[in-house]
Chains A and B, each alone.
Chain A
Amino acid sequence: MSPSELSALLPILITAAAASALTAAAGFYSKHGFVAGFTMAAFALSFASIFIAAPAAPIAVSSLLVVDGFALFFMGLIYAAAFAVALLSYGYNGGAGGKHTEYYILLLLSALGAAVLAGSRHFASFFLGLEILSVSLFGLAAYMRSPKGNEAGLKYLVLAGASSAFLVFGMALVYAATGSMEFSAASALATRGGGPLSLAGMALIVAGAGFKLAVVPFHGWTPDVYEGAPAPVGAFIASVSKGAVVAVLMRLMGGSLASGGPLFTFLAAVAVASMFAGNLLALFQENVKRVLAYSSIAHLGYLLVAFLASGSFAAGAVAFYLAAYFVSIIGAFGVVTVLSVNGSDVDSLESYRGLAWRRPLIGAVFTAMLLSLAGIPLTAGFVGKFYLVAAGAASSMWILVLSLALSSVIGFYYYLRIILVLFSPSPRELPAEAEVHPAGSAALMALFAVLVFMGVYPGPFLSLVGAAASGLWQ
């Protein structure tokens, strides 16, 4: 490896080294403060090393990985999100008294898998990254070993295994058609029209990735897993694991989707179905985590609108929307996290009645996150959704844009319903509530600041996204 390759790969190397070091240290020293601090330091260091890697980009590191502006943008997003999740987890896992070394090792490894996906340009690294991510995530989903957690972990394990089988079979078919495992060969063939073999392969890959994205025909597992998994892990599954798969799909097929082709039509149908089904199913849920699960299905549907509108403007829209969605969904799950202690999450809608009067700060943050998910102006979610509509309109995909607008209106109902509960008078008998850990409040405040900043003054972020997206398909 040359020095420039080494510096380009630094973010991934630091995370991998931290995960190995933490595993080695776990046998000797497992104080929660040290373990959590070490993990957060590793994420911060990986994030900082992106600026060291940037001058070397774009560079291909062996045939497996590529580090370019797009990959670095997503790695930055992944590490920032992982840092926020680690910070939220510290209080959730019992502060200084907790003992959860494996939790943080798995968190490091899943972030590593996601970062590998962001830089993949080869089916082998795609598969390995995805497996590192899924294997760590089912460990995390079942981490509390409560009956619901076990169910969540088992469902995730079985469905991740099934989706990997689809994915690998699809890769094999594409390999049979192209004779190469590199993305460039697959998308070059797809641009030329492909053949039945590569089309079937790509369809299977989309199905496999669709499980991870939880878009509509493949979404059955989502509410159960989000409900059973610990709240910070739910935040991680909803954000990082989806974002990384979006990144790898963009690199694999974003540039080669012929408008009107069979894959395009299929993905458009998936997008419309996800938007409507996600929003309609969320309407009558009484569990906040399940509402967020269905809401995340709808959001991936919105995202597909820009995904299908090819071009670097649309790629920028995808990147910006994902960033906005990351902040809002981690913030929303973060509120559930800070009110809960590990093993028993406060997730029934009723227990949030009057929260805004009892804990004004957390109530305000939750309200802001929900408004952002609904796409109300002055929040990041609004700018993101505006950007999506602009990208869809630029490619004149009117059906998709119309479904986006219509289903967003349906979505207002359940977001406003939660906000209404937050602001209604407190019940007589207050439910027992956990003390909010300062680390959790700090994470929420930071997310809130980013949310408002992105919503009020998106300029700097938009130029960053534009620069990241411009180099994607060259």
Chain B
Amino acid sequence: MEALFYVSAVVAVIATLRAVTGKNAVHALLYLVVSLLAAALVFYSLGAPFIAALEVIIYAGAIMVLFIFVVMMLNLGPGAERQEKSLLDPRAWAGPALLAFALVAELLYSFSGGGGTAEANAQYINPKAVALTLFGPYFIGVELASLLLLAGLVAAWHLGRREKEATHDSPG
């Protein structure tokens, strides 16, 4: 299991570096998705499969896919077709695909029983334990997080709204 941790951690670091240094937004986002998947595997190797699943569903699944769609749709225009052709260039997807393949291989290896059991000091944390902690000692934290979302929502709604009579209207 320790090897699993280190391999996914290295994948996460490489993918994040590529995401930060990438010049093309779509390519950078592909690397970011791989980075999040690698982070999910890190959680999995530490004995937290529930958090790993949430990481995949929420970050890699919902948020990042939305990001990629938005970025791709924003680029609509005369050059869009040429640009989409360039997205199919192997140089664009080979890197993320290779890293993702490494993660899949790791996952298959651990499912087939390789890598032994979890470390002695890493215990398995199931969804029930997560829920009991969140809504037990940390319920104030959950409430505060909901108010944080409210703040984000109100701010985004105000700043993103198109005002009819606005004098200083600007896209944002």
Contacts and interface: CB of A to CB of B under 8 A. Distances in A.
Interface of A: 16, 19-20, 23, 61-65, 102, 105-106, 109-110, 112-113, 116, 124-125, 128-129, 131-132, 135-136, 138-140, 142-147, 149-150, 153, 343
Contacts of B81: none
A153 B156 CA distance: 12
B167 A142 contact: no
A132 to B, nearest CB: 5
B158 A109 contact: no
B159 A125 contact: no
Given A110-B151, A147-B168, 19 more contacts: A16-B143, A20-B147, A62-B139, A62-B140, A63-B138, A64-B138, A64-B141, A112-B147, A116-B144, A125-B144, A128-B141, A132-B147, A138-B155, A139-B151, A139-B155, A145-B172, A150-B172, A153-B159, A343-B167
Contacts of B147: 16, 19-20, 109, 112, 132
Interface in B114-139: 137-139
B87 interface: no
Contacts of B170: 145, 147, 150
Nearest to A132: B148
Nearest to B158: A102
A132 B158 contact: no
Q: In terms of DSSP, what is the predominant structure of the interface of chain B?
A: helix
A64 B155 contact: no
Q: In terms of DSSP, what is the predominant structure of the interface of chain A?
A: helix
A147 B137 CA distance: 45
B151 A61 contact: no
A136 B155 contact: yes
Contacts, number: 87
B17 interface: no
Most A-side CB within 10 Å, residue of B144, B148, B151: B151
Interface residues of B, number: 26
B151 A124 contact: no
A132 B159 contact: no
Nearest to A343: B168
Contacts of A20: 147, 150
B167 A128 contact: no
B144 A129 contact: yes
Nearest to A138: B155
A146 B140 contact: no
Interface in B144-170: 144-145, 147-148, 150-152, 154-159, 163, 166-170
A109 B140 contact: no
B140 A135 contact: no
B95 to A, nearest CB: 25
